[in-house]
Every structure is written in structure tokens, then in C-alpha cells.
Amino acid sequence: MIDGIITFLVLTVTGGVIAFIGDKLGSKVGKRRISLWGLRPKHTSIVVTIITGMLIALLTIGVMSILSDNVRVALFGMDELRQKMAMLTTQVEHKTEELERGKTMLAAKNREYEEMSERVRETGRALARAEEQQQYMQAQLAVVESAYRKAQADVTASAEEIQELERTKTELTDAIGRLNDEAERLRTDITAIREGQVMFRVGEVISSAVVKEGLSHDDTVKVLASILNDTNRILLKRLGVEGEQEVVRILPETFDEAVDAVEGRTVPGLVRVVSVGNIVVGEPAWVEFLIFDNRMTYHKGDIVFDKYMDEYDQYRSVEMKVLAFLRDVNTRARGQGVLPDPITGNVGQLDGQELFTTIREAERVGERAHLTAVATEDIYTEGPVKIRIIVSRD
């Protein structure tokens, strides 16, 4: 600020002095009628005035150049300044491009992290369901083992009941083994997801969809192709494969058979896409269609099955009678079209605590206890069958 004031004052005073001197010189030249370079006095006065103005401009520029770096740059370094500005502009553009690429990479990494987290959560939920089924089967096994011990302790127990207990125990042990294998597979899947490799077992359901009835041939082809496209996207997400690529494979004759099964249906259909072989990252996913009628088999509150406990007189223990009743519930629901669980073969499950409560209530009521399995929600073809058991006296 002070330097600017000083510069302004110096230029003002100097310009004034030069103008004064020029005026005096011009006046003297005019009065004395002095002639320079052969010019007329009038023209000589004009030349003196012009030279005075030029001196004022030169002095102004000179003083400003001496006192101000910015003026020197503006007068003598403008080209260099432009070059530096162009270079800095280019650098800024490069840095901006790098920043945008960095933002894009960060967004991609965030999406990848979210997708991986979602796959881990999905697999964790599947593991929780498998462990819940495992606990239920273990509870059933505990009931069977308890009944088995009672039957062994009772010298009057029939050989037929013991054999039935052995058979049921074996079935439950096998089911628990399959559930253990499934739980281990799911744990492995969680690890595999985090490592970028995912596997689907033979027969595992990858996706499912409901198709309406009365479709024409062309519409059926479009609908099944759309289901395959959706399955392809699901596989790309589950297998951690980036980009748009086709990983689903199906034999032409298999697709044609599915078209024939769906075309012209009189009821809605449930279409399941299942793996026909183990699927790992980097390998084609060979699939097939499983098609079922999609019906509501039970409304909430409907009786799925009921029976008097003394109708199971081939069993001596209450535990075995209740388990036999549950097997009949499973058989009845499957007979009505509910699809069984691909792992256990069951259509539903009963909480372990409720199972023990039912057994205790049946023991309290006695042989004429009436067991009724009631649907706790609407049940469709796909299941599962969720029930509660009502124990009443005849």
C-alpha cells in the first residue's frame, strides 16, 4: 500500500516537472522564434511538446518498472508468464483427471465391498437357517434316544418298536450328518466369498420365479429366457464376477422341455433354476429348470393334519408317537404339493422347545390325546410348512 502511494506521488511530481519544463521550453521557442532542424518556429514548438509528452510516458514506464516487479513482468515477461500459466493449467487438468480416476476407483471399491458384505450376510443367513434345522433335528434325535432308552429298559417292549426306534435314530443321525455337511459347506462358502471363490452344489436352487398361466409359445420362451438372464445376474453377483458376461449354460433340449412344460398352463407355475453340477468361479454354470404348480395349499389357521395319539399304538412311548405324528404331517403336506427341503427332505420344521412342550402335554392328557397341526401362516407350493400343534382331550 505504501509503495503504491510513493510510486503515485513520484510519477505525479515527475510528470508535472517535465510538463512544466516542456511548457517553458515551448514558450521560449515560440517567443524567440527558434528553429530546429530547419523547421519553422511553429513546428519546432510542436516537436518540443511531442518530445515532452514522450519523455513523460518513458519516465512513467521507467519509474514503474524500477519500483514494481509486476510492471516489469507485464512489460517484459508476458510470454513467459503465459507459458507458465499454460503449463500450470495442463498440470491442473492432469491432476483433475487423476482425482476423477481416483474417485471412480474408490466408488468401484466401495461397491465391491458392499457386494461382498451382502454376499457374506446372505450366506450367514443361510448358515443360520441350516444351524436352526440342525438344532431341530438334534432335538428330535434327543427325543428318539430318550424313547430308545426307555424301550430298552422296558423288557416288555416289542422288537418291532425297537427296530422302528433304530430306524428313526438312523434317519435322524443321517439327517444331522447332512445338516452338519451343509453347515460346513456354508462356512466354507463364507470363507470362499471372502477369498473370491464361490461354489454351488449339484441340485442347489439358484433362483426361482412364478409364471402366470396361459402363456403362448413365444411368451413362454421370452419368460424363461428372462429367468435365465436374472439367474445369470445372480450368479455374477454371488460368484464375484465383474462385468457383463454370460455364465449360465443350459442344453437346448432342456430349455425346449421347460417351454413345453410352461406353455399353456392352466395354473400359475413355480419355476426353479437348479445347478446340474458344482459351480466355481471361472467355469460355466450348467443349469436346468424344475417346474411345479404354484398353489396355495393351506391358509393361515387351516388344519394340516390331525390324529388321535392312540392310533399310533404300534409305539409304546409318547415321544415316538409325537414323532410319528410329525412324519405324517410331513407326508400329508408333501402330498398336497408342498416342496420338500432339498437337504432334509422335510417340508417344514418345529421349534425344539415346542416339540418338548407338545410331548409333555401329550403325556399329561394321556392316550386319548388329540393332536392337531395348524398352519401359522399361508403356505404355498414352495413352503415351508410352519405349524403349531394343539393337544386336546377327546
Q: Which three cell numbers stand for residue 259?
A: 417351454
Cβ pair 370, 391 in contact under 8 A: yes
pLDDT of residue 111: 80
Cβ pair 392, 319 in contact under 8 A: no
Strand partners, 303: 374
Question: One digit per residue, pLDDT tens: the chain, 394 residues?
Answer: 565 566 666 667 666 766 666 666 666 656 665 555 666 666 666 776 777 777 776 777 776 667 666 666 666 666 777 777 888 888 888 888 888 887 888 887 778 777 777 777 777 777 777 777 777 777 777 777 777 777 666 655 566 666 777 777 777 777 777 777 766 666 665 555 444 454 567 777 888 888 888 899 999 999 999 999 988 888 887 766 677 788 888 999 999 999 999 998 888 888 888 888 777 666 778 889 998 888 888 999 999 999 998 888 888 888 888 888 888 888 888 888 888 766 566 767 677 778 888 888 888 888 788 999 999 888 888 778 888 899 998 6
**Beta strands, E only, 276-386:** 285-293, 296-298, 303-308, 369-375, 379-380
pLDDT of residue 106: 80
pLDDT of residue 337: 83
Cα–Cα distance measured from residue 187 to residue 94, given in angstroms and rounded to the nearest whole number = 46
Strands 296-298 and 269-275: what pairing? unpaired
Cα–Cα distance measured from residue 377 to residue 92, given in angstroms and rounded to the nearest whole number = 64
Q: Which three cell numbers stand for residue 132?
A: 436352526
Residue bearing cell 441350516: 130
Q: 281: closest CA among 323, 239, 245, 322?
A: 239
Strand partners, 290: 272
pLDDT of residue 195: 47
pLDDT of residue 115: 74
pLDDT of residue 26: 63
Q: 227: closest CA among 207, 257, 203, 212?
A: 207
Cα–Cα distance measured from residue 5 to residue 25, given in angstroms and rounded to the nearest whole number = 30
Query: Is residue 384 reached through a cis peptide bond, with omega within 30 degrees of 0 on the bond before it?
Result: yes
Number of H helices, E strands in the chain: 9, 9
Residue bearing cell 410331513: 330
Q: 180: closest CA among 122, 141, 238, 234?
A: 141
pLDDT of residue 336: 85
